[in-house]
Amino acid sequence: MKKTRIFALAAVLLLTACTPDAPYQANISFFSMDTYMEITAYGHVGTSLDDCKDEINRLEALLSVTSPDSDIGRLNASGMTDVSPETAEIIKYAQRIGGETNGALDITVYPVLKEWGFTTGDYKIPDGDTLNALLQKVDFTQIKADDSAIPAVTVPDGVQLDLGALAKGYASDKAAEILRENGITSALINLGGSIMTIGGNPSSGSPWRIGIRNPFSLDENIGVIEVADKAVVTSGSYERCFTADGKTYHHIIDPATGCPAESGLVSVTVIGGSGIMCDALSTAFFVMGAEKAAEFHREKGGFDMILVTVEGEILITEGIADTFTNLSKLPLTVL
């Protein structure tokens, strides 16, 4: 009799632990890649969140532009260095997107960024001659990476790289890979605004609802997008900027002018299966503007996007017309 009662109690406890209403949730937050990161995962998480953190810190040590010991730091100092195959792959990927976006994404824009002070916070408006001289060094096609087991990368004198436009997206892909390998089927990875989702939200049994920041009122969301197993990456002029003589200058540089891009957009969100793709494209589209981004979408596809224009219009692609909710009073157009 007593035995039966113990068994019944154990069964109830087991059922409670397994009920879909109360999934085990684990969370980790840390600072890496110059930003605050947070990962939430559900289920039997084990050490996988710590593994994600270690992986992201490993990538920072490999790719950071400010660390003299990273692959990028060594390349920028010497113009030629052996790098890990992974670094070479990311460089080649950036070159590919650079080509497809007609140079809107250019990972050699770093000397220009430095001149504006975006790397140190010591902001200034460079004069035209200085910018023109620096622009001679901006050309991603000048980077040569060979295909050997330990790839050698070379750049001409004065050319310097910065993978800041796509490193976080790449890191989000790697974190998702680790979680999936550990059997996690539900997680939200937020690497300072580069978001990657695994599955849906187990609490509600529905997709993740990701808020898109309102560039005109940063405490609010302009809308919400529902996603599962997708990256959601935003580039916004509000992220890093300074004001001088009544004009605001931001950190996304148009490689054609050497100045902060003035394409008529204030934010670009790209939604798709790959974090590195969404990150690279969001930066590139910010430079290209709405018309060229829409043209790119029509020609290549494989992603969706939310564009917010300087005039206060929201443009979204048809693929998310049913999953994006406009929370603002701004007019919305489906491209």
- The contact set with ligand AMP (CB under 6 A) reads 105-107, 109, 113, 162, 164-165, 235, 239, 251-253, 255, 279, 282-283, 287
Query: Do the beta carbons of residue 307 and residue 265 sit within 8 Å?
Result: yes
Tokens of 203: 């609490």
Q: Which is nearer to ligand AMP, 90 or 165 (CB)?
A: 165
| Cα 107 versus chain centre, distance | 14
Q: How far is the CB of 206 from Mg ion (least distance, A)?
A: 28
Q: What is the CA radius of gyration of the chain?
A: 22
Query: Do the beta carbons of residue 242 and residue 249 sit within 8 Å?
Result: yes
Q: How far is the CB of 282 from Mg ion (least distance, A)?
A: 5
The verdict on 283 binding Mg ion (CB under 5 A) reads yes
From 157-165, 209-217, 250-258, 312-320, span contacting Mg ion (CB under 5 A): 157-165
From 46-54, 125-133, 280-288, 301-309, span contacting Mg ion (CB under 5 A): 280-288
Q: Which is nearer to ligand AMP, 89 or 239 (CB)?
A: 239
Q: Which is nearer to ligand AMP, 76 or 186 (CB)?
A: 76
Distance, CA of 33 to CA of 195 (rounded, Å): 14
Q: Which is nearer to ligand AMP, 71 or 279 (CB)?
A: 279
Distance, CA of 23 to CA of 184 (rounded, Å): 12
DSSP string, 240-309: SEEEETTEEEES-EETTTTEE--SSEEEEEEEES-HHHHHHHHHHHHHH-HHHHHHHHHHH-S-EEEEEE
Could you tell me which of 210, 198, 265 has the C-alpha nearest to residue 237?
Answer: 265
The verdict on 165 binding Mg ion (CB under 5 A) reads yes
CB contact set of 192 (below 8 Å; sequence gap of 6+): 33, 34, 35, 36, 37, 168
With CB cut-offs between 5 and 8 Å by kind, which of Mg ion, ligand AMP, none does residue 225 bind? none
The verdict on 284 binding Mg ion (CB under 5 A) reads no
Could you tell me which of 280, 38, 289 has the C-alpha nearest to residue 162?
Answer: 280
Q: Which is nearer to Mg ion, 42 or 286 (CB)?
A: 286
Q: How far is the CB of 115 from ligand AMP (least distance, A)?
A: 13
Q: Which of 60, 162, 226, 279 binds Mg ion (CB under 5 A)?
A: 279
With CB cut-offs between 5 and 8 Å by kind, which of Mg ion, ligand AMP, none does residue 162 bind? ligand AMP
Q: Which is nearer to ligand AMP, 107 or 187 (CB)?
A: 107
Q: 3-class SS at 47?
A: coil
Q: How far is the CB of 168 from ligand AMP (least distance, A)?
A: 7
